[in-house]
Structure 1
Amino acid sequence: MLSLIIQRLLALIPLLFIVSVLTFSFTSLLPSDPVDLIIGETGTHEQYEMVRQRLGLNEPVVERYFMWLGKAVRGDLGTSFFNSVNVTQAVMQRLPVTMSLTLVSAAIAIVVGVAAGIVAALRPRSWVDRFATIGATIGQAIPNFWFGLILVALFAVNLRWFPATGFTPFSASPWDWLRSVTLPAIALGLASSAAIARQVRSAMVGVLQQDYIRAARAQGLSARRVIFRHALTNALVPVVAVLSFQITVLLGGALIVEQVFAINGLGTLAIAAVRQQDIPMIQGLVLVMVELVVLAQLATDIIYGLLNPKARPS
């Protein structure tokens, strides 16, 4: 298992290098000049040159890339062009907000998706199975931002059970944190729970028809032990692959759901950076988001290796 982790970590080095090259290259090819956005149309030629020199834009692209990469390796993602804010500090301040939303929505998606998939698989072709299948299809079809608006109108505006907007840090009040993150997490986790439910149902139906499941039942084992100890453990092997993709979807969807619930996470920071064409902020956000996705993929690879010994390197 240790060799699997080492192999995955070594594979991350060229991947992150390629991502850094593409990120820096694409942001450098933006049609507008950031100096024009900073100074405006009334600036003089001397002011333009002074700002370009201060920002390091007069240097060749390759030299600027390696300077940026050297600082990024040390944890310095640069400084914003517009408000002189340290990019690393700005991202780290918003990161706990987005991670809270993503982790809670992932927990909801896993619990709801696995439970619905098991119930549907235990009674295939019944009304329970058809209801779960229809619900999963609808859940995948509904946009998370539209579902978030419905939740706000129903549970925040009408019933006043949850706050409509804002985010409370866990350190300030765990209860208020849970109330503030519940609605956006449900809106975000709905589609992922539907995808997980469909995969669990398909995997469980196949596993329950295997000979070792029949042998376990013939030995007099309880239904709960057969389902959760033998069937579910083997059915989760293909589900982990879907889960790794859904974690990526949740991270991307969190950036949109944050706008619906007025949560100051990475999504708000990313939209502001794109509108201003704040190149250092965009580069830092893309790099951090890719690192989060890569870490999520690494975690799912480790879980997959624990569940499936055949996936471990010899």
Structure 2
Amino acid sequence: MVKLISQRLMAMLPLLLIVSILTFSFTALLPSDPVDLIIGDRGSEEQYQLVRERLGLNEPFVARYLTWLGKAVQGDLGTSFFNSVRVSDAVLLRMPATLSLTLAAVLISVVVGLGAGIAAALRPRSWIDRLATFGATIGQAIPNFWFGLILASVFAVTLRWFPATGYVPLSASPLGWLQSITLPALALGLSTSAAIARQVRSAMVGVLQQDYVRAARAQGLSPRRVIFRHALKNALVPVITVLSFQITVLLGGALIVEQVFAINGIGSLAIAAVRQQDIPMIQGIVLVLVLIVMAVQLVTDILYGLINPKARPA
């Protein structure tokens, strides 16, 4: 397992390098000059040149990239062009809200997706199977931000069970955190659970027809042990692949759902940075999100190794 982790970590290094080059290149190709956005139309030529010198924009592209990369490796993602805030500090301040929303949505999608998929697989072509399939189809068809608007309208505005906007940190109030995260997490998790339910149902139907499952039943093992000890374990391999992809989708969807529920997470920070063309902030956010996605892929590979010993390197 240690060899598997080390191999995956080594494979991430060139990928991170490529992502950093692309991120820095694309932001450098923005049509407008960030100096014009900073000093406005009334700035003099001398002020213009001073700002460009202070930001290092007069240096060649390669020199600017190497300087930025060297600082990024040390954890310094630069400083915002507009408010002089360190990018790393701004991202770390907003990250707990986005990660809380994403992880809560993952938990909901796994619980609902596994439950619906297993129930449908145990009774194929029954009303339970048809109901789960219909629910999965509806869940995949509805955009998560639109689902969030419906949940906010019903449970926050009409019934007043949950707050319609805002985010309460877990350290400030666990109950307030749970109330503020419930509706956006449901909006994200229920739509994602549809894809997981489909995959679980398909994998479980195939596994339940295998000879070793029939042999386990013939030996008198309880249905729960047959399902969860033998069938589900072998059916989880393709499910993990879908789940790892869905976590990436959830992370991107969280940036949009945050706008619906007015949560000050990475989404609002990214949108403000794009509107202002705050290049250091955009570069830092993209790099951090890529690191999170790569960490998810690493965890997926580790789970592969734990569930399927054949996936481990020799």
The offset of 1:127, in angstroms, is: 1.0
- 1:170 match: secondary structure: coil
Cα deviation, 1:42-99, whole Å, max 9, x if unaligned, reads 1111110011001110000100000000000000000000010100000000011100
Q: Hey, what does 1:24 align to over in structure 2?
A: 24
CA distance in 2, matches of 1:10, 1:124: 44
Provide the rounded CA distance (Å) in 2 between the counterparts of 1:190 and 1:300: 21
Secondary structure in 2 matching 1:59: coil
1:113 CA displacement: 0.2
Match for residue 98 of structure 1? 98
> Map of 1:83-232 to 2, 5 A cutoff?
83-232=83-232
Shift of 1:190: 1.7
Q: How far has the Cα of 1:123 moved from its partner?
A: 0.4
Q: Partner of 2:309 in structure 1?
A: 309
RMSD: 0.5
Cα distance in structure 2, aligned partners of 1:275 and 1:75: 25
Q: How many residues align?
A: 314
| CA-to-aligned-CA distance 1:217-238 (integer Å, 9 cap, x gap) | 1111111111111111111011
Correspondences of 1:55-66 after superposition (within 5 Å): 55-66=55-66
2:313 aligned counterpart, secondary structure: coil
Q: TM-score, normalised by structure 2?
A: 0.99
State whether structure 2 residue 287 is matched by structure 1 residue 287: yes
Partner Cα separation in structure 1 for residue 297 and residue 110 of structure 2 = 16
CA distance in 2, matches of 1:34, 1:103: 35
Runs of 4+ aligned structure 1 residues displaced above 2 Å come to: none
The TM-score with structure 1 as length reference comes to: 0.99
- Structure 2 residue matching 1:124: 3-state secondary structure: coil
Equivalence for 1:237 = 237
Q: Which amino acid aligns with 2:283?
A: Q
Residue type matched to 2:115 in 1?
A
Pairwise CA distance, 1:192? 1.2
Q: C-alpha distance in 2, partners of 1:304/1:194?
A: 22
Look up the equivalent residue of 1:58 and give its one-letter code. Answer: N
Letter of the 1:247 counterpart: I
